[in-house]
Amino acid sequence: MTSEHIWAWIQGKGRIFKVISDPEKGIIEVINEKGEILIRKTNLSKRQIEMVEKNFLHLIAKKLSGRGAAAPSDTNRETFDPMIT
């Protein structure tokens, strides 16, 4: 079983970046739609990667695979917003 998590990070103008995080290997990569690595961080601790996932990726990206990925039925569900009446 792999510890790799794959995220879709939607940018302006319809661009989608793929973010790969792997807590076991200590790597986070951001890849553009052409497959070019834009950012590659290595030698990160498991705690650092978990912090990036929790405080950044969970807010701006959609998890595509790995532990806790959204099931296909979750993709069309609206997000509850208590501020909207």
Q: Is 17 exposed, middle or buried (0-12, 13-18, 19+ CB in 10 A)?
A: middle
Residue 38's φ and ψ, nearest 5 degrees, are -90, -40
Distance CA 44, CA 23 (A): 8
Cβ–Cβ < 8 Å for 18, 1: no
* pLDDT at site 37: 95
For residue 80, give the DSSP letter: P
The pair of structure tokens assigned to 40 is 């590659």
Domain assignments of the chain as residue spans, ordered by start: 5-65
- Mean pLDDT across 59-80: 57
Q: Would the pTM count as exceeding 0.75?
A: no
pLDDT in tens, 31-48: 999 999 999 999 999 999
